[in-house]
Amino acid sequence: TVSIALFTQDLRLHDNPVLHAARAAADRVVPLFVLDPAVEGAGFAAPNRLAFLADCLADLDASLRRIGSRLVVRRGEPAEQTARVAAEAGAATVHVAAGVSAFAHRREERLREVFGDRLHVHDASLTVVPAGRITPAGRDHYAVFTPYHRAWQRTPRRNVLAAPRTLDTPDGIGGESLQPTGPLSPALPPGGESAARRRWRRWDVDAYARVHDDLAADATSRLSPYLHFGCLSATELVERALRRDGEGAQAFVRQLAWRDFHRQVLAARPDAAHRDYRDRDDHWHRDEREAEAWRQGRTGYPIVDAGMRQLAEEGWMHNRARLLTASFLAKSLYLDWRIGAAHFLSLLVDGDVADNQLNWQWVAGTGTDTRPNRVLNPLRQADRYDPDGAYVRRWVPELAHLPGPAVHRPWLHGADYPAPLIAPDALTERFHRGRGLD
């Protein structure tokens, strides 16, 4: 008998429920990945992510070959391509992870139409707690993180699964390879499960609680792209972190609960990817010149500009910088959060429809923040999270001559630098005026 393990955002051998089930169901398994042109057409497949994905697929193929198998890559509509491979291989069943986006829901529906009850959807693959598994009384999802987190911590986790040591795959099933094109950020991380596991082994979770907000220390895990593509299982990471049992591990695991939280929101409200989760009747300001200065990292606020330049260079940005650059766009410039979210998605290697769109909505006050009117003042953020100015000097070299925290206020030191797009004393004003709160 033959089964198909259809890989999606679970590009790994370790702790992979889909692969495990496909293997238990048949003597031979076809590991399949289908690249859907609709994803590219929807503008979601940014070059940075496609390059990372190509690494992930190559690494997965190499790991599969070591255990006697290989990865089959096809391009086209996923249900149609899977049906073709099933016919070629004589496969009886198809196994796939449950996704949370509107796109994943449609893919699953199409697969269901083609395969009926020969399709097996596994819901504990992409998250620690499956979306929809825990709900507050009378609602289909949690809208507030804190009660979600409490329930999440009490929910039993499935066992971590070992990577298979052997895998038999039928011969003669042809595939293609993925050739990414387009301009790439110069300093992208390498993709794939092997790189992910190396990164985890070398990273110090114990210090996390103390240093995760320190911009210059750059001491967060940087596992987000690997989690996005499923090169690592969030369940395995939680198990491994909790074995350390310290403040750092607890804080890290809490961030993984945020990841699940956003997925259960999106699964219940797929349109929150584009529409305000909470309708706040906002009338965003429109100013393409300001939006472009923000994208280019030339707002005149070095802390904001440093974050935007890190994004362009690495396809990644520190969480604290994401928060303050997003707040600057949505609450100081008062531009539509969708403009900022689209720019992030065009560059982030970890760019994720759940995490990006819902974090943006959180910052913009249209999402799940219980204090939607909070405004992060970039100067106070700079003083608190980059007190010595080292993060700014790293990313804004034209200000590297300004010592210590002076780098955060170049206008006071006669530096040759763009004037602030909005005066320092008016930073939070436009937002409140826009909302009629002042």
Please say which residue, 119 or 256, places its beta carbon nearer to ligand FAD: 256
**CA distances in angstroms from 24 to 21, 167, 168, 396, listed in the order given:** 5, 11, 12, 54
CB of 262 to ligand FAD, least distance (A): 5
Say whether residue 319 binds ligand FAD (CB under 6 A): yes
Annotated binding-site residue? 350: yes
Taking CB atoms within 8 Å and a gap of at least 24, the contacts of 162-166 are: 162/14, 162/15, 163/13, 163/14, 163/15, 163/16, 164/13, 164/19, 164/20, 164/23, 164/67, 165/67, 166/67, 166/68
Ligand-binding site membership of 148 (annotated) = no
Site string for ligand FAD, 355-394 (x = CB under 6 A): xx--xx--x-------------------------------
Query: Which residues, 6 or more positions from 66, have their beta carbon under 8 angstroms from its beta carbon?
Result: none
Q: Which of 14, 107, 259, 295 contacts ligand FAD by CB under 6 A?
A: 259
Rounded Cα distance, 402 and 399, in Å: 6
Give the interface segment with ligand FAD, choosing from 98-106, 300-308, 350-358, 407-415 (CB under 6 A): 350-358
The angle that helices 337-347 and 353-364 make with each other, rounded to 10 degrees, is 150
Q: What angle do CA 201, 203, 205 make, to 5 degrees?
A: 110
Say which residues have a Cβ less than 8 Å from residue 217's Cβ, sequence separation at least 6.
211
Please tell me whether 220 is known to bind a ligand.
yes
Q: Which of 258, 278, 287, 405 binds ligand FAD (CB under 6 A)?
A: 258
Told to check if 49 binds ligand FAD by CB under 6 A, we report: no
Of the pair 105, 222, the CB lying nearest ligand FAD is at: 222
344 binds ligand FAD (CB under 6 A): yes
Q: Is 264 in the site for ligand FAD (CB under 6 A)?
A: no
> Running DSSP on this structure, what letter comes out for residue 131?
T
Q: How far is the CB of 323 from ligand FAD (least distance, A)?
A: 5
Nearer to ligand FAD, 61 or 260 (CB): 260
**252 annotated as ligand-binding:** yes
> And the tokens for 37?
């042109």
Member of 227, 249, 265, 329 binding ligand FAD (CB under 6 A): 227
Pick between residue 256 and residue 267 the one whose CB is nearest to ligand FAD: 256
Bridge partners of residue 34, in order along the sequence: 74
The residue among 329, 345, 242, 316 whose CA lies nearest residue 285 is: 329
Kindly state the number of chain residues that form the binding site for ligand FAD, as judged by CB under 6 A.
Answer: 28
Query: How far is 363 from 371, CA to CA, in rounded Å?
Result: 10
Edge-to-edge strand order for the sheet containing 28-35? 72-75, 28-35, 2-7, 91-97, 119-122
Q: Is 111 in the site for ligand FAD (CB under 6 A)?
A: no
Q: Which residues bind ligand FAD (CB under 6 A)?
A: 212, 220-224, 227-228, 252, 255-256, 258-259, 262, 319, 322-323, 326, 344, 348, 350-352, 355-356, 359-360, 363
- Known binding site: residues? 208, 220-224, 252, 350-352
